[in-house]
Chains A and B, each alone.
Chain A
Amino acid sequence: QTLRLICTTTAVQRKNVGASGPEKYTEAFIKKQIEEFNLGKRHLANMMGEDPETFTQEDIDRAIAYLFPSGLFDKQARPMMKHPTEIFPEQRKIQWGEDGRPFHFLFYTGKQSYYSLMHETYEKLLNVEKYQDQLLAQGLPLQKEKRNLAGSRWLTKIELEEMLLEKLSDDDYSRFIQLLQKLVALPCADMEEKYIQKFSKEVPVQLQKVVIEPLQYDERGVAFSTGEGKRKTARATAVVYDNGTGKITVNGIDILHYFPVLQDREQLLFPFQFLDRIGKHDMVCTVSGGGRSAQAGAIRLASAKALRSFVTEKEVEFMRQAGLLTVDPRVKERKKPGQEGPRRKFTWKKR
């Protein structure tokens, strides 16, 4: 029979969290966790009746969601089974050996990886300068190929922190970037190209050229093209035919009957009027949602988009500058609490 301590003092129970610091996971611990995870994966596959060899992470997630249904809102709080490298954050292992001597020569600075990075970069800088001096002494000209800086950016502070596994301050980060820029600015920096590439990332070119669709031809041999437009809540699709008389049909109804008001019909005709093609095209459109004016605006945008295929690039640019191809971003503003409408406040009473 063992004696068990039943009552303890509060001093014993209180853990001195400040002194211990963050927990360090030893390599052996992580290895054991990985073995247990793989064993557990095979057991789970057997339980679900699937093949243990081809059991992917998605299958594991589905199996866990089925076996342990949880109504908790936060996805991170629900039971999960993931590879230990994803659960235990990557941490620095203990920095010194058995005799107490630290492994890294800059250990006593506190930020060893950051300062060793600065040391290496400065060494590369010195090497490049020495090489330049040698070239100058021999009288050879220095190469001046300019690196394309437009498509690349330096690593952000967070990415650098992840790379070094150490916290950095803004000052440290800016100093490192300045050093890199100094290195890149030297004419013979090409010999350290590989080292610099570790710290630069490609920025994908964001220009997206709008592709103008080519003309399509229907059974009679008449060219046509389609366009879509929207305005407020109205959505419209328009099909513009070539060799026409200027007839426009909306939802199967002629525009004179669909849009009694002159203003809406003017909106529909504006793209054709702008391109001087009033009597040359036929149009059939469908529209839904919104009100009278919104539907008119939506059809105007749709027809302008369809007309792009019939017209030269210069005229497309003119249309764009006239505002025919831009979606109108104005929508109904929401009502706010404490006010009667989006902007109107309640009547102010003096007493």
Chain B
Amino acid sequence: DDKLLSEPLKHPDFFSVKELFTLKDLFDARVHLGHKKGCRHRFMEPYIFGCRLDQDIIDLDQTMQHLQLALNFTAHVAYRKGIILFVSRKRQFCHLVERTARECGEYAHTRYWQGGLLTNARIQFGPGVRLPDLIVFLSSLNNVFEPHVAIRDAAKMSIPTVGVVDTNCNPCLITYPIPGNDDSPAAVELYCKLFRMTIIRAKDKRRQSEAVEELR
């Protein structure tokens, strides 16, 4: 059992996450497009490549690195049978995100976030509840363009977060930010596809390793 858990940690890319996407895929899905210059958040300036006709362009090289780290982390969490919660407050993609979560076998929350869901979970759900081990934000703002409450709550409950941050978002409290577009349907579908493939790969690898262990 110890060998099962420590084996993936010895390799930098145990789940070969780099093969899932290329720079061209990100460009075709319009991930590099940000919001206008006036909407720019101060902490997103390191991730921005430049500005063309007032519209910010996100640096896709940095996005590649961040995305690879984030997908690797989610794969490890899924390998160790962690609970992953997909959060997005964009109404356009609510159905898509819920469908992705259902196909992975993980959980989603794309509706109104009640105040004490994470911090007051014992009383909301019941005494023996298990909180999510990873929260993935496909859009880190809520409908009023403020940072989602779940980012702060996850930081309070020591839950690591992975999030797609656009040029008007605050990447501060997110453990693995992914600078990229969160408004285009193509970009969000790409993210959903990538997360779904990583989680399914990680779970398959886990089942294979367990089968190999049992055979011994």
- CB contacts (< 8 Å) of A106 on chain B: these are 98, 107-109
Contact B95 A122 (CB under 8 A): yes
- CB contacts (< 8 Å) of B125 on chain A: these are 95, 107
Considering only CB atoms, which chain A residue lies closest to B121 in the complex?
A108
Contact A105 B102 (CB under 8 A): yes
Contact A19 B107 (CB under 8 A): no
Q: How large is the interface on A (under 10, 10 to 19, 20 to 34, 35 or more residues)?
A: 20 to 34
Q: Given A21-B126, A108-B132, A101 and B83 touching (CB < 8 A)?
A: yes
Q: How large is the interface on B (under 10, 10 to 19, 20 to 34, 35 or more residues)?
A: 20 to 34
Contact B98 A119 (CB under 8 A): yes
The B interface is mostly helix, strand or loop, or mixed, namely loop
- CB contacts (< 8 Å) of A109 on chain B: these are 109, 111
For A105, give its contact among B81, B108, B123, B129 (CB under 8 Å): B108
A274 at the interface (CB under 8 A from B): no
- CB contacts (< 8 Å) of A99 on chain B: these are 81
Distance of B185 from chain A, by nearest CB (Å): 14
Distance of B131 from chain A, by nearest CB (Å): 9
Contact A96 B129 (CB under 8 A): yes
- CB contacts (< 8 Å) of B128 on chain A: these are 94, 96, 100
Interface of chain B residues 122 through 147 with chain A (CB within 8 A): 122-130, 132
Contact A19 B123 (CB under 8 A): yes
- CB contacts (< 8 Å) of A101 on chain B: these are 81, 83, 130
B202 at the interface (CB under 8 A from A): no
Give the interface centre of A24, A107, A123, A126 by most chain B CB atoms within 10 Å: A107
- CB contacts (< 8 Å) of B105 on chain A: these are 105
B101 at the interface (CB under 8 A from A): yes
Considering only CB atoms, which chain B residue lies closest to A116 in the complex?
B98
B106 at the interface (CB under 8 A from A): yes
Contact A94 B108 (CB under 8 A): no
Q: Given A96-B129, A102-B107, A110 and B124 touching (CB < 8 A)?
A: yes
Interface of chain A residues 106 through 129 with chain B (CB within 8 A): 106-111, 115, 119, 122-123, 126
A sample of 17 inter-chain contacts (CB < 8 A) reads: A19-B122, A21-B127, A24-B126, A94-B126, A100-B128, A102-B83, A105-B98, A105-B102, A105-B105, A105-B106, A105-B107, A108-B85, A108-B107, A109-B109, A110-B114, A119-B95, A126-B95
Interface residues of B (CB under 8 A from A): 81, 83, 85, 95, 98, 101-102, 105-109, 111, 114, 117, 122-130, 132
